[in-house]
Amino acid sequence: MRGLNILILTDIHYMSRANHLCPKEERKTRLGLELIERVLNSVDISDIDLILLLGDLVDNGDAPGVKEDIMDLYSVLKSTGKPIIVTPGNHDPDPQLVLDIFNDYEGLHDINGYQIVSFVDEYNEKDEAKRCMAKMESVFSQVDAIRPIIALQHNPIYPHIDRVYPYNLKNADDITKFYMEKEVLLSISGHAHWGIATTLKDDVGYLTCPALCERPYKYTVLSLKGKEYNAIEYKLILEGNDEIRK
């Protein structure tokens, strides 16, 4: 099996053409395109096999003009020539619109022999996320038990984040049990902007990647070889470097 090198970007919260002003000052929503371009200039793109976008591409999915902002993000990333998998988040517009713009779909992707399953979860009016277990059963009916499985979603599943704002999926316990039974190698999420290093539960790795939209503007590179993997966080702003000022 060939290895797999993945560039992971999450929580960009980009807003430029859209009519929206983010109330959270720490989110540099206008910088989305510049930050992505800086990431692409910071990595050796020839070594990257796949780009993952783990949701909250934009800050307000209901704002007029948001479709154009998402199309701008797609245009920049498409220029790499690399396949892109996207899992829409709670700040994004209609998930199908996001998937259509990126020519993507929910479900099983076969990349270099790895089985990558992406999920679009459901949100209520309180921003609480829940997954339809029947849908997950349907997706995994296409998965074999031989090749490594990587699961993608916006909200973290494990470990539990004890905060008032909802971070974990509401039925996270059901999902961790399901991932264990299906021998998922690694589950990858965004949403928790600070990020959480890979944590093992029942032999399943759970990785929460940090947000690109907040200083020091982090992104993740994940390298896999068989069932071995290594995730490294990188910062666009290093100590003593205050170049990005907008």
- Say yes or no to pLDDT of 246 above 70: no
What confidence score (pLDDT) does residue 242 get? Answer: 58
Residues 6+ away with beta carbon under 8 Å from 229: 185, 186, 205, 222, 223
**Residue for token pair 């921003």:** 127
Q: HSE, CB side, 13 Å, CA atoms: give it for residue 71.
A: 7
Distance of CA 53 to the CA centre of its chain: 4
CA distance 190 to 204: 17
**Residue for token pair 């928790």:** 192
What confidence score (pLDDT) does residue 240 get? Answer: 60
What confidence score (pLDDT) does residue 19 get? Answer: 87
- Say yes or no to pLDDT of 2 above 90: no
Domains of the chain: 4-235 (3.60.21.10)
Neighbours of 225 (CB within 10 A): 12
Q: Which two tokens stand for residue 36?
A: 């992505």
What confidence score (pLDDT) does residue 243 get? Answer: 61
- The reported pTM is 0.96
User: If pLDDT is split at 50, 70 and 90, which confidence band does 239 have?
Assistant: low
- Sign (positive or negative) of CA dihedral 10, 12, 13, 16: negative
- Say yes or no to pLDDT of 63 above 70: yes
pLDDT tens digits, one per residue of 163-178:
999 999 999 999 999 9
What confidence score (pLDDT) does residue 245 get? Answer: 54
pLDDT tens digits, one per residue of 76-99:
999 999 999 999 999 999 999 999
pLDDT tens digits, one per residue of 168-226:
999 999 999 999 999 999 999 999 999 999 999 999 999 999 999 999 999 999 999 99
